[in-house]
Chains A and B, each alone.
Chain A
Amino acid sequence: MSDIAIPLTGLRVEAPPTVASRSLIEIGLADAYAALASPIGDVFVAWNGRGLSAIGPADDDAFEDWFARDIGRPLYPADRLPDRLERAIDRRLAGDRSTKIRLDLRGSSPFEQSVWMKAAQIPFGEVRPYGWVAAEIGKPLAMRAVGSALGRNPIPLVIPCHRVVRTDGTIGEYALGSDKKRAVLTAEGVDLARLEGLASSGIRYIGSDTTKIFCLPTCRHARRVTDRHRVEFHSQAEGQARGYRACRVCRPGPAGVAA
């Protein structure tokens, strides 16, 4: 029978390389990436079987270098995103916060995750100061750490760190570049000129003389106040002294936090 056994061992073959990479991606020990159109132009999106893992500038070398350095898993180019993930990201970027996307945030600290999840609660088209995020996660003094955590956000746009702005109301830094931050906020309908105008004249809060409530300037309730009823405050103390209370939707936070 040995004459027959010999040719049979010739039936052993090498698996195509995609078999190993596909398995590792599905398990989450490697990632795939592909380009996606976004409000600020094409970006690269990386994912694996455990979830969406990264978004970065659509520049092969820069993205692969950054991924190798910060995430450290093997990264394989793919032709396109899985349909379901692409649709979910599109809906999310259009402001639909009810669309769930699984995120793979392995390697990040609980503090970073709490900052990112808080940023994810800021509504489309609104912004909040760094101090607001710090106060909301129960670390009102950790403004600088909040800033660093947002700078390390591996999934910008989907985790909308662009909606967190400097405490003085100016736009501030962004992982994808501050010009991109302006572009994505503008695409969401934020009136940057007005926001910066208020910031430069020291206005931090907008109140309504009918409700006697004051809000952060981009809160949807503040934007509804007509010019005739609009009151502007430099500080929460100023508003409170005039008998106004803080909005329960945008929660400007304890006095001093956003000042």
Chain B
Amino acid sequence: MKSDDLPARLAHDLDGAFPTLVTEHVDRLYSIALRLLGDPRDAEEITSDGLVRAHRALASYPPDRIHDLELRPWLTTIVLNLARNHARRHRHLTVVIDDSQVAPTATPESTTIQRAETEHWATLIAGLPTRYRVPVVLRYVDDLDYDEIAGVLDRPATTVRSQVQRGLTLLRAAHDAATRKELSA
């Protein structure tokens, strides 16, 4: 069955279809939470909590509403709100890189390089101001399009587009600065 049918299946049999929703969305929601919060434990907690809240919300929706849901942006909104609340409460943005992001086929040398590369970009993203970090993560880590991000963040698509561009400019500048520092060291 195509994943496009998932809202229909959830509307028909929420408990029966929900494990499929978890399988299809858990990695992307976890990635968003990890890149926004930086800490794998926090990301695990936020993702689990988000899925539980999603189930609770769906259980209270009439079938027609579930049928018409755009699951990707809807789930993103739930996790994003939880991550924002969490960050507000704890105010930490430490980036911790875990091993799970390394492809299992990688050789030791390429593993080290890839890990360093990932750590480098994760650190740069964590350093972005929130108003740029969130749209950049949604656009490039999760691959939502501008209209979807606009819906999630409740701001015009043109604003989102310029925030993403601005975020990338800042990232590029930070990347160049870091590279120069490395070369001169």
Main secondary structure of the interface of B (DSSP, over half): helix
Instruction: Say whether, besides A10-B121, A11-B121, A26 and B52 are in contact (CB < 8 Å).
Output: yes
- Residues of chain A from 15 to 32 with CB closer than 8 A to chain B in the complex: 15-16, 18-20, 22-24, 26-27, 29
| With known contacts A16-B100, A24-B19, A10–B117 Cβ distance under 8 A | yes
Number of contacting residues on B, CB 8 A? 40
In the complex, whether B18 has a CB less than 8 A from a CB of chain A is: yes
Also in contact, A11 and B19, with CB within 8 A (given A5-B168, A27-B52): no
Q: Is the CB of B51 within 8 A of A13?
A: no
Cβ of B47 and Cβ of A19 under 8 Å apart?
yes
Q: With contacts A5-B140, A8-B136, A23-B48 known, is A15 near B26, CB below 8 A? A: yes
Interface size on A, residues (CB 8 A): 23
Cβ of B28 under 8 Å from chain A: yes
Q: How far is the CA of A13 from the CA of B40 in the complex (A)?
A: 11
Q: Are A7 and B117 in contact, CB atoms less than 8 angstroms apart?
A: yes
Known A11-B122, A24-B19; contact A19-B100, beta-carbon cutoff 8 A:
no
**Which B residue sits closest to A9, measured CB to CB?**
B140
Q: Which of B23, B35, B55 has the most CB of A within 10 A?
A: B55
B70 within 8 Å of A (CB atoms): no
**Is there an interface contact between A13 and B101, defined as CB atoms closer than 8 Å?**
yes
Chain B residues whose CB sits within 8 angstroms of the CB of A15 once the complex forms: 26-27, 29-31, 44, 47, 100
Taking each of A15, A20, A27, A49, which has the highest tally of chain B beta carbons within 10 Å of its own beta carbon?
A: A15
Q: Does B110 contact A (CB under 8 A)?
A: no
| Given A11-B31, A14-B27, residue A23 in contact with residue B141 (CB < 8 A) | no
Most-contacted residue by chain B among A11, A29, A49 (CB, 10 A)? A11
Do the beta carbons of A27 and B55 come within 8 Å of each other?
Answer: yes
Contacts of B12 in A (CB 8 A): none
Residue-wise interface mask of B (134-171) relative to A, using a CB-CB cutoff of 8 A (1 in contact, 0 not): 00110011110000000000000000000001001001
Known contacts A14-B30, A15-B100; 4 additional CB pairs below 8 A are A11-B118, A22-B48, A24-B19, A27-B52
Binding site for B on A (CB under 8 A): 1, 4-5, 7-16, 18-20, 22-24, 26-27, 29, 49
Q: Give the 7 A-B CB pairs with smallest separation, nearest first.
A: A15-B30, A8-B140, A23-B51, A13-B101, A23-B48, A22-B48, A12-B31
Q: Please, could you name 17 A-B residue pairs with CB atoms under 8 Å apart, sorted by A?
A: A8-B121, A10-B117, A10-B121, A11-B121, A12-B27, A12-B101, A13-B100, A14-B30, A15-B47, A16-B30, A16-B100, A19-B26, A19-B30, A19-B48, A23-B52, A24-B18, A27-B51
B interface residue numbers (CB < 8 A to A): 15, 18-19, 22-23, 26-31, 34-35, 40, 44, 47-48, 51-52, 55, 98, 100-101, 114, 117-118, 121-122, 125, 136-137, 140-143, 165, 168, 171-172, 175
